[in-house]
Structure formats: C-alpha cells, structure tokens
Structure 1
Amino acid sequence: MFGIPWYTWAIAAIVAVYFLLKLPNRNRYKAADIVGSSINVKPQYVEDMIAKMGSEKSDLYSKQIVAWKDKDPSIVEQGVLTFFIYQIIKNDSPENVKWWQNRLDEFGYRYAIGLGDVETAFMFLSKIVNTGSESEFLEAYNRTYM
C-alpha cells in the first residue's frame, strides 16, 4: 500500500491502539499518582483499588481528585482515606491496620475516620463491599483499632 512495507502499517496500528486504550485511563493514572505520592506508596497499589471500583465509580473518583487536588485539599484527603479503608477491607489484621495508620499519620493525614468517610469510601468501593454496613464497619474499626 503506497510503497510502505506491511510491518510499518502493523506497527502504526499497534501504537494507535495503545494510545486509544491508554487515553481514557489517564485520569486514573494521575489520581493514583496523586494519592500514592500523598502517602508515599507506589501508585500501582492505588491503581489496583481504582480498577476494582468499576468504570463509573473509578471515573468519578479519578476525575474528582485530578480536578480538585489544588483547589480543595480535603478531596485528596478523602481519596487517601478511601484507599486506607480499602486496605483495611483487603487485610484487617492489626499489624496491617497499624502500619497504614502510621503511614497516614507520618504524612499528616488523620486515621480517625468518621461515618461520612466510610460512607464515601463504600460508595466508591460498592463493587467489593456491602453498602449499608458502613456503621458496622466503623464500629468494628473504632472498637478494634482505636
């Protein structure tokens, strides 16, 4: 086709597909980087959580953090707390929870969570948690880890 070797077209097609797949996820990568760098953890851990949220919730979480990070620091804090709650859901061993509490404290974030924090996190994490159990989660957290 036009004197260009077939493999050049193949490479061009692969590059185009790569960018078409990567483009819609750029806010997710940025949000993972913002939250991860806020508490000095690899963004891949945050990306794992974002991927489990489902398309609609992950887009909302990511766009909110990326758009408001400079205007409202509480948005980033809520993103960090959502990640913290996700880590507790993944592994609720006292050693793990204490490690994450220390991590948040070290970087100036609170680990004393309230019902609003849990409700927000559960809204984003509704694919992996039972919504409606927010108060039970908070009560167990406060009883066990505070």
Structure 2
Amino acid sequence: MIWTIVGVILLVFVIYKLGFSKANKAVSLISNKLQIKPNLVHDMIAKMSPDRGQMFVASASNSANIEQSAYIFVIYCYLMNPHPEDVKWWKGKLAESGLGDYIKSDAFTTAFVYFNLEETIDFNPRKVAEDFNAI
C-alpha cells in the first residue's frame, strides 16, 4: 500500500516536471535576464490564450530568443501600465540586462500577436512603439 502511494506521488512529480519544464525554463530565462520575480512572467503567460501561450513558451525557452522574449515581456508591462515612470523603470531594467532600451516596432507587432491584439483597431504597433520609445 505504501509503495503504491509513493509510486503515484513519484509519477505525478515526473509528469509535472516533464509537462511544465519548457514553461519553467522560459520563465527562468526571462526573469534572470531582467532580474525580476518569476511570478511576473507567469502572470503574463497566463493572460495569453492557451495556444499563444504555448507559442510564446516554445520561443522563449530557446535561449537564442531571450532578447525578443524580454522585449515582449516589457511590452506587456507597458500595455498594462503605460505610466512614464514605469516605462523609465523598465527601460532601466533593459539597460541593466545589456539590452537596448529602444524597442523596434517589429517587437510590438510580435507582442500584439501573442496577446491577440493584432486585429484590434485601437492598437497600432508602430504608434505604440513610438509612444514607448519617446519616453
């Protein structure tokens, strides 16, 4: 009986580790790059649709795409709170991590796809990029 319980617990643990290893790696890469708490990145991924979240995790878990993923996270933070003081703080985080604080409109376009905003009339990636970079 005890071995059955131990076996089930180990099986659940292994399934959890295999199922969430890419997401954990993506969150870890972004949070370490920007030196932020991982729960902030988890929150961003949770707000994406399941399909878009999986696409983002697949891209972000590849360390070659870490810069793009970090920019997408900062864009998410900007869309949630565009206050100039917060933008300056995030630009400082980008500079501290060795990334440029100027984000190209291509990154905004990509972020809009992940956040399912590409078809929204109110969101123009080029305009939002100009507003962000002007601060």
TM-score where L is the length of structure 2: 0.82
- CA distances 1:7-30 after superposition (whole Å, capped 9, x unpaired): 764564455345434532210110
Of the structure 1 ranges 7-16 and 20-29, higher mean CA displacement relative to structure 2 is found in: 7-16
Give 2:110's aligned residue: 120
The answer as to 2:26 corresponding to 1:39 is no
What count of residue pairs does the alignment treat as equivalent? 131
Kindly provide the amino acid, as one letter, of the partner of residue 131 in structure 1.
E
Give 1:137's aligned residue: 128
Kindly provide the amino acid, as one letter, of the partner of residue 27 in structure 1.
K
The answer as to 2:17 corresponding to 1:26 is no
Q: For the pair shown, which has the larger CA radius of gyration, 1 or 2?
A: 1
The unaligned stretches of length 5 or more in structure 2 are none
Structure 2: how far apart are the matches of 1:21 and 1:33? 16
TM-score where L is the length of structure 1: 0.77
Q: CA deviation at 1:139?
A: 3.1
Secondary structure of 1:131's aligned partner: coil
Kindly provide the amino acid, as one letter, of the partner of residue 33 in structure 1.
S
Q: Over the residues paired in the alignment, what is the CA RMSD in angstroms?
A: 2.0
Give 1:95's aligned residue: 85
Q: Residue 44 of structure 2: which of 44, 49, 53 is its match?
A: 49
Identity over aligned residues, as a percent?
27
Q: Which runs of 4+ in 1 moved over 6 A?
A: none
The unaligned stretches of length 5 or more in structure 1 are none
Give 2:66's aligned residue: 76
Structure 2: how far apart are the matches of 1:76 and 1:113? 14
Structure 2: how far apart are the matches of 1:86 and 1:135? 15
